[in-house]
Structure 1
Amino acid sequence: VNGHTVTFANGDAPAATTLPAGSGVNNQLVTDGKGNSTVYLNSGTVQDVMNAIDLASGVQNATITGGGATLANSSGANASIATNALVLSTSTGSDLKISGNNTLLSAFGLNSGATGVGSFSADRTASTTAGATVSRSGMVQAGSTLSVNGKTITFADAKLPAAADYGSGKVTGKNVITDGSGNSTVYLQGGTMDDVLTAIDIASGAQVAPVSNGAATLAVASGSEASKVLSGGQLQISSGMAGDLKISGTGNALSALGLAGAQGTGTSFNVARTATAGGISGKTLTFDSFNGGTAVNITIGDGTNGTVKSLSDLNTALKANNLQASIDTTGKLTISAANDYASSTLGSTLSGGKIGGTAASFFSAPTDPVADPVAQSTRANLVKQYNDVMDQIKTTAQDASFNGVNLLNGDQLKLVFNETGKSTLNIEGVTFDPNGLGLSKLTAGTDFIDNAATNKTLATLTTASTTLRSQASALGSNLSVVQARQSFSKDLINVLQTGSSNLTLA
């Protein structure tokens, strides 16, 4: 059956524990898990035979655990009996071809009863549901291939192999195995059109699927869009960003996917990414300085002579002007303020960034940013904490008084070192309340509203910190002078006291 063997044997099926590794028993059927089976006739039934045919044709698959085989449908309909007739089904990817002893075939009504070796075949369109219009050419045949931008996609009429047999990486949630370099195999038993499009996207670079430990994680490449089936049944295939789309194939893959029409032949399909009428190739886009950034003048083109070709190129040009670009799943290009200036309106009088150029008409009018209430609540709480610290700085400076002198509130301290008052040290005080340090209270909803506003406050704090360190150094120097004079005075007093004591003794 389709290149696999179904053998009939006397006796009963052996126990699961006696089977070789990789084989499994299901009722009176033993399968090797690869489509070949043995049916034991002593207690076997027609159902066992139908299951064996389904395993060979790919309609069913077997999962083998501990010598037992669990059968499950892969594609098509399981073989059945209807009013004294045997109903067989092909798999998704292959016609049904059965050869064997004619007497045996006749027992199942699959030939005229002649002796010798005979055969039976049925293609995948021999029977359809009522009202269905199935075209054989509309289904990809096993063994067909697609070459997409030099990468190969192979179609196999089999179920997805076990994890140990992947060899490369199974794309998560898909009936596709890829080698991580763009080449893939689509398994038709249980496969869908989405699996085919996934393999095409991996080959074109529209999606990436890096392989790790036998698994491939699928993600849409930056600036690209995943291919999809439109509501009318048409395929929308993305070229990706790396190059034009060039597809060739063997078997019926191109015609089955509708790629052998006006834009291609039976063996190739090519679509260039050149701009269509009304496109933006050759048009310019300008932005005035936005929040102090560098004004931008962009020409959209093929990437040569300084023109912008990709989303990455566009973002590189916009970055110096505090702007960024993104493309959503519908292909819409959006240019917005960089995260640091998230509260700014593009093109406003306050922030700048007015748009111009011949491509400006393609864009809608800039809209005001919409604040995230949760984030702004957190920032408002930070503003309150900051203002509380400002109050503490003010009261601490006011309380830094000793003997009526407060060097942090603008007072001056004069130290006299001798009895004539000619040796003195004047220490100039400073006003180091928040205002004196260049700090002021913040307003919720205005300050800390985005990263740029926060960075302004950080800059004033850095300046205040530098001022404090400088003044601390100056006060430290004065303290050293006072301590030196104090030490000198103590030593002099000790000398005088010693001399006085000696004179008294004398």
Structure 2
Amino acid sequence: MSSGITLSSATRQNLLSLQDTSSLTATTQNRLATGLKVSSALDSPVNFFTAQNLSNRSTDLGGLLDGISNGVQAIQAANQGITSIQKLIDSAKSTANQALSTQITTTGTAGTAYATTSSATSVKLYVNGQATTASIASNSTIDGAVSALNTAAGSTMFSKDTSGTKIVLNASAAVEFATTAGQTALGFTAGTGTDTADKYGSGNTAASGSANLTISGVETRKKLAEQYNSLLTQITQLAKDSSFNGTNLISNGDATNKLHIAFNEKDTSNLDVQGQDLTADGLSLTSITGNSGTSVNGQGNFLLDDDIKGTLTKLTSGSDTLRTASSTFGSNLSVVQNRQSFSKNLINVLDTGAANLTNADLNLEAANSQALSTRQSLGISALSLANQAQQSILQLLR
């Protein structure tokens, strides 16, 4: 036969109540300890998996934020490079304008009186590097020689002195002789030293300068051309240094040079920032050399005003290109920063949504804990009262 302990109905009811209270107390204490009302799928499958999906997307977007942040910095590095390049171009403009304002002159008076020759004489000159030949007729007077020289030069740069016997040169240009014979034919002292071979293009040798003539401005413009070339080198170097984390948006305009920024976890929302070539070559800025220009004629080093004006035009075009690039990058930066802010806010929304589904209300759970503690005390008291009847019987047995 089976045997067991028989409890009264009241005692059993109080025991069940205490067991329920103990179970609720354990649940409440777990929530207070973890801060979660749903800590596993057993607590609430719908809330648990929904919160998990929200948290996973928040984590994915958080990972993308690093890429977005790098994109912001790469664009800002490019923009900083553009700003600095613009300053260098402004310096180059100043240098070119300084060269343009530097006057080139050739002045001097022949050392000896002009001597009439019995045969025709040809005097080859270079006026700012442009070759021209004056044909002086036989038995020509000094007036005839001056006239022939001015006709060849295209301006009245030759004249005679107050004595009427010596030729005077006063030109707003660099005037050089092809040969020392041409110098002496006009009464100028022959230049000494080595002739400059192919100074103004192939086959155009210039004689050394005559002691009677002074050419000014040419060397100054040459030094300014060297300064200009140095600025172009700095522009290229600065463009190549404007990188962030290996990304440079202003040193290469190749179609493959793109900054790809993903805005969502599936990359269905993104932005491609196309790189541009803002080096000196990319801005179509060419160095000034001794043989620059449309042809290899030696008229470089800022010798000609027209070449300097052409350089200034290129610099202005380069500035326009920089402004356009800056506007483009600025627009892209605005988009990326806006998406960065949006992603941060969306992550906060997702995390808050997940928390609302799983987090416990600690104030409520604390109140529940106090109430359950009181209920447990009352349950124990009720159980004690339910057992008093049996204790009375025990007294009779004694």
Larger proportion of strand: 1
The answer to whether the superposition gives a TM-score over 0.5 is no
Per the normalisation by structure 2, the TM-score is 0.35
Q: Identify, as 1 or 2, the structure richer in helix.
A: 2
Q: Which structure has the bigger radius of gyration?
A: 2
